[in-house]
Amino acid sequence: MRFEFHDPGGALTVTQPHAPRIETLNDRKIGFLTNDQWQAFRMLPKLRELIAQDFPRAQILPLDAFPQGNAEIPKETTAELVKLADVDAVIIGNAS
Amino acid sequence: MFRNAVAGLGLAPDGAMVTFPMPIFLPESDISPLEARKQEFYDGLMRWRPASAGAQAERGRVIALDATDHEQALTRFNHLAIANLWGDGLPLWMPTQARVDWILRGSALPRTTVMGKMPPRGGVATVEACAVALAMAGGRPEYLPVLIAAVDAFLDPSTNSDQLQAASGSAFPVVIVNGPIGRQIRLNSGFGCLGPDPQHAAGASIGRSLRLLQQNLGGAVPGTGAMANYGGMRYTNAVFAEDEDGLPEGWQPHATLRHGFERGANAISLVFASGAANIRRRGAKKETAEEDALQGMHRMADFLRAPNLHCIPGYAQGTPGVLMIPNIVARRMAELGWTQRSIVEFLWEHTKIPMRELKRSGSVSWIEVDTNPITRASLALDPWPIAHKPENFILIVAGGGHPTNSYWLQGYSPAVVGRRIALPDNYEKLLAEADRDLGLGS
């Protein structure tokens, strides 16, 4: 016997939720969005330092270039600020 | 994407992430693994590709299953549910097209109606998806209007459900139902209203189906999409009716008091809670009625006066929690002159926490980092009220006619969202069929 049932996982409409990747970090503008939690206040500055060492021509925005905090990051206004900054890539952290 | 990124590991499974074991995220941790794995960050920005790149939009599918008989089909379906993370580990009904179509008779809306996307995974929350979940959870058509209203409220951005779904604080939705629909569909408002009850099965089915939607559409699987440490109350969430017949004269149903719906309106109110605890309210000796009421109020307030701080997200607009009292207590207190207003004012006044205790527990920092200026400004207050205003407390009459206990659903809720419940034209027929099937009368 054949039984048919609806997929409990439903449907997704998002087909390409991710920004295109970039070929190099040199000559590119890199931003950070930090919630300042889970040691992000230590880890993201360290990561910024590492990128600066390994990609000396990268333009890396300061950690406080955009609003910080779990409640600020999700806001549309924050997304707009990121777009206005014309960054090529964004690193977001920390989640736990 | 931004929103999900800090909500936990609730990104799409193919998100560009660099993950570390938990110790690096703890105070004074060794962050040297960051340098050792820096290339993974660079690769995430430069080389990573989503596994689904170029794929067509996923559609809601119908899945075929071959079996020798219904018994084997149900067994195989439940094995599939475990393997595909569709369920809660307990037996489920198979959401066959016939069963889902039967459930859909309870909707006033077309099955394709989209209410939003269930965060963080982003599965599309349609009326049909609600019916699928309700079918799996053992529900009935007459439950569907309550579930649809609850899902609509859940998806209201003010609830922060996208973050609470993934966050570690074990938030679970609480759905308070007002109006005649509660009695009509056998929602419990009395004894054992938050637990299993064969005479009132609706709450468990509706709450379980909401949970299935949170997991199956939203991706809130423990340890991956949902980082709740404990996840209490999440099998069925909390879905119950207010005991409107037990309200003292002059008291208003919650949906009227909080949301302004007219008395008698079918409506739900959704909040998030992160804990549930019984409070022994009644005195043990020869207290007078006044002493019993006042001591009970102090006992409840003392229990609530704790620097636990799950109340912070809801400080300004939400709620510190839901206090449930039995009808006999409500009536007795009303006879003594207590009103809904005077009770929440008492609670607000007597749950204030001395600032020295907030400082001692480090709780001040949680208030300082909150984004709401009203919440941050509250640090000027000593003692510190656990809510911006008395009416933020939710007082509900429910729990049966016994005077000893009250119950506290600890709020973790930036908002309290109300929704009217829309009924289909055939609703009376559905109720008659329920009477026929269940035989208990409504």
The three-point CA angle B224-B228-B229 to 5° equals: 110
CA distance A64 to chain B (A): 15
β-strands B172-178, B267-280 pairing: antiparallel
Question: Would you say residue B219 lies in a domain?
Answer: yes
- Where are the alpha helices (H) located in B260-407, listed in sequence order? 289-304, 327-335, 340-350, 355-360, 363-368, 373-377
Nearest CA in chain B to A82: B2
B160 located within any domain: yes
Q: Which of B31, B217, B313, B13 is nearest to A94 (CA)?
A: B31
Q: Contacts of residue B162 in chain A, CB cutoff 8 Å?
A: 74
B84 CA to chain A: closest CA distance, Å? 9
Two structure tokens written together for B296: 């009970």
**Closest to B427 in 3D by CA, of B106, B103, B99, B104:** B106
Q: Which of A48, A31, A14, A15 is nearest to B53 (CA)?
A: A15
Residue B23, domain member (yes or no): no
Q: Would B21 be classed as within a structural domain?
A: no
Chain A residues with CB under 8 Å of B68 CB are 1
CB of A33 closer than 8 Å to CB of A69: no
Which residues constitute the domain of residue B401? Answer: 72-351+386-438
Residue B67 CA to residue B216 CA, distance in Å, equals: 24
Query: Quick check: A8 and B212 CB within 8 A?
Result: yes
Residue B32 forms part of a structural domain: no
pLDDT tens digits, A10-25: 988 755 567 788 899 9
Q: Is B323 contained in some domain?
A: yes
For chain B, how many structural domains are there in total?
A: 1
Which residues of chain B, if any, have pLDDT below 70? 1-14, 50-59, 440-442
Confidence (pLDDT) at A96: 63
Question: CA-CA distance, A43 to A39, in Å (whole number)?
Answer: 6
Per-residue b or e along B360-388, where b marks 16 or more CB atoms closer than 10 Å to that residue's CB:
eeebbebbebbebeebeebeeeebbbbbb
Q: Could you give the CA distance from residue B313 to residue B316 in angstroms, rounded to a whole number?
A: 8
> How many Å lie between the alpha carbon of B6 and the closest alpha carbon of chain A?
5
**Contact predicate A91/B41, CB 8 Å:** yes
The beta-carbon contacts of B49-55 under 8 Å, at least 24 apart in sequence, are B49/A21, B50/A16, B50/A17, B50/A18, B50/B12, B50/B14, B50/B15, B50/B16, B51/B13, B51/B14, B52/A15, B52/B12, B52/B14, B53/A16, B53/A18, B55/A15
Q: Which residue bears the tokens 């006619």?
A: B401
Helix axes B127-136, B144-154, angle to 10 degrees: 120
Position B64 in a domain: no
Inter-residue contact B123 to A10 (CB < 8 Å): yes
> Is A81 near chain B, with CB under 8 Å?
no
Nearest-CB residue to A5 (from B41, B77, B126): B77
Contact A15 B57 (CB under 8 A): yes
Q: Tell me if B4 is assigned to some domain.
A: no
As to burial, measured by CB atoms within 10 angstroms (0-12 exposed, 13-18 middle, 19+ buried), residue B295 is: middle
Quick check: bond before B383 cis, omega within 30? yes
In Å, how far are A45, B315, B403, B409 from B413, measured between CA atoms?
Answer: 32, 9, 28, 11
Say whether the ipTM exceeds 0.95. no
Tell me the nearest-neighbour CA distance from B210 into chain A, angstroms: 12
Nearest CA in chain A to B6: A95
